[in-house]
Amino acid sequence: MRGLWAGLRGLVIVICALFGSAVWTAAASAQPFPSRPITLVVPFAAGGPTDTLARILSERIAAELHTTVVVENVAGASGSIAGARVARATPDGTTITIGHWGTHVLNGAIFKLPYDVLADFEPVATIAMGTQLIVGRKALGANNLKELITWLKANPGKATAGTAGAGTGAHVAGVFFKEKTGTDFQFVPYRGAGPAMIDLVAGQIDIMFDQASNSLPQYKNGAIKAFAVTSPTRLASAPDIPTVDEAGLPGLHISYWHGIWAPKNTPKDIVAKLNAAIVTVLADPSVKQRSAELGQEIPPPDQQTPAALARFQKAETEKWWPIVKAADIKPE
């Protein structure tokens, strides 16, 4: 009998433990989101254009969600280290990432990734539509795009172009520039556009194909030259910079858009809460003004939805993957 009672008592203890665990799990899952701080992973070094956007938005998103948003820079491998970290994160909305055309489109065509840029993330919101500038060090012996192309052809293989790493937007844009102009120069990879810009200002490298948000402040301060903007229209915040079409290189159009993603299987209600907070922040006049100063445009509300970001990312993938693969662009 003692053995029987001991066995029954052990069974009761196990059942109670399991019941208690179930109750605790249910209570935990019932907690309103967010019950913990949110980590916003930036796939590049601090000080770059993506990091700047993240920091503009993070404080305001935190205020909307009544929590803390911690910006974490996870640089390396053109943003794919950060991508893998977020793809593996618990899908509870407390780990999200900011990314762009390079990290969530180009990387899928260039790298052998441990994740799928489309299938392993939940789109949250499109946050900015930007473009690139073709810029150079202040002392460079060229004052417009045609003169830059002439100078590059006169110095084949000698000029240096800074990038945020192999396969990034700056690298891909440089490859297309080479093909369109018949020029040749060396790529110098950095851990982000911020460090690359520091060397451009210092005259350590010659040119960059850089996000407007990173280059405009330095251009306006007179620290670098700007030769063209890679869009069909001029920037409202820098109307003196000609488009590539006007400057003599028609068709080199590159849109450097940004978005926010969560890990795959993040509950739809959490994605909706994140999106609602971001949409509110993007409507703030001060955010719009700050974005415009950086050469970024806030997309209209109908393009800020998770579904809109999913459609746009898919369309960009279908457009750019064949181009990148045909150009045989590979990690260096």
Place of tokens 């150079």: 136
Residues 120 and 137 in one domain: no
Is it the case that residue 87 has pLDDT exceeding 90? yes
pLDDT of 91 higher than 70: yes
260 and 123 part of one domain: yes
The count of structural domains within the chain is: 2
Q: Assign residue 93 a region: left if phi > 0, alpha if psi is -120 to 50, beta otherwise? A: left
Q: In what order do the strands lie in the sheet with 121-128?
A: 69-73, 38-42, 95-100, 258-263, 121-128
Domain boundary among the residues 181, 215, 247 is at 247
Return the DSSP state at 37.
Answer: -
- Residue-level pLDDT at 8: 42
CATH number of the domain bearing residue 283? 3.40.190.150
Which has the closest alpha carbon to 295: 231, 224, 247? 231
Cα diameter, the chain: 98
Residue 314 pLDDT class (50, 70, 90 cuts)? very high
Give pLDDT, residue 30: 56
Is residue 163 domain-shared with residue 198, that is, in the same domain?
yes
> Distance between CA atoms of 294 and 222, rounded to whole angstroms?
16
Examine the pLDDT at 20 and tell me if it is beyond 60: no
pLDDT for res 328: 84
Mean pLDDT of the chain: 90
DSSP state of 104: I
186 and 286 within one domain = no
Q: Is residue 4 part of a domain?
A: no
Rounded CA-CA distance 195/200 in Å is: 9
Least trusted range by pLDDT, from 72-86, 97-111, 164-178, 198-212: 164-178
Residue 12, in any domain of the structure: no
- At 293, is the pLDDT very low, low, confident or very high (cuts 50, 70, 90)? confident
The answer to whether residue 137 is domain-embedded is: yes
- What gap in Å lies between CA 107 and CA 113, rounded to an integer? 8
More confident residue, 11 or 35: 35
Which pLDDT band, with edges at 50, 70 and 90, does 332 fall under? Answer: low
Note whether residue 308 is domain-resident.
yes
Task: Examine residue 9 and state whether it is found in any structural domain, yes or no.
Answer: no
Look at 6-10, 51-55, 152-156, 212-216 and tell me which has the smallest mean pLDDT: 6-10
Residues contacting residue 57 through CB under 8 Å, at least 6 positions apart = 98, 127, 278, 281, 287
Tell me the pLDDT band of 26, cut-offs 50, 70 and 90: very low
Give the pLDDT score at 48: 85
Parallel, antiparallel or unpaired: strands 95-100 and 38-42: parallel
Average pLDDT over residues 2-11: 47
E strand or H helix at 22: helix 2-30
- 179 and 43 share one domain: no
Q: Among residues 222, 247, 272, which one ends one of the domains?
A: 247
Q: Are residues 192 and 122 in the same domain?
A: no
| Residue where a domain stops, chosen among 190, 217, 247 | 247
For residues 180 and 278, what is the distance between their CA atoms, to the nearest angstrom?
Answer: 39
In a domain, 283, yes or no: yes
Looking at the structure, tell me whether residues 77 and 180 fall in a common domain: no
Q: Do residue 111 and residue 173 come from a single domain?
A: no
CB neighbours of residue 316 within 10 Å: 16
150 has a pLDDT exceeding 70: yes
State the pLDDT at residue 331: 74
Report the distance separating Cα 301 and Cα 95, nearest Å. Answer: 24
Q: Are residues 148 and 241 in the same domain?
A: yes
pLDDT at position 17 over 70: no
Residue 153 forms part of a structural domain: yes
Let me know: does 51 contact 44? Beta carbons within 8 Å: yes
* Residue 147 confidence (pLDDT) above 50: yes
Q: What local confidence, expressed as pLDDT, does residue 330 receive?
A: 77
Same domain? 54 vs 149: no
> What does the pLDDT look like over 205-249, one tens digit per residue?
999 999 998 899 999 999 999 999 999 999 988 999 999 999 999
Lowest model confidence (mean pLDDT) among 140-144, 185-189, 190-194: 190-194
Q: Which residues pair with 262 in a beta bridge?
A: 122
> Does residue 217 form part of some domain?
yes
Which pLDDT does position 25 carry in this prediction?
A: 38
Instruction: Assess whether 107 and 184 both reside in one domain.
Output: no
Range of the domain at 212: 132-247
Predicted confidence at residue 272, as pLDDT, reads 98
Does residue 84 carry a pLDDT above 50? Answer: yes
Q: 190 and 109 in one domain?
A: no
Q: Give buried/exposed letters for 177-208 (b at 16+ CB in 10 A, else e).
A: bbeebebebebbbbbbbbbbbebbeeeebbbb
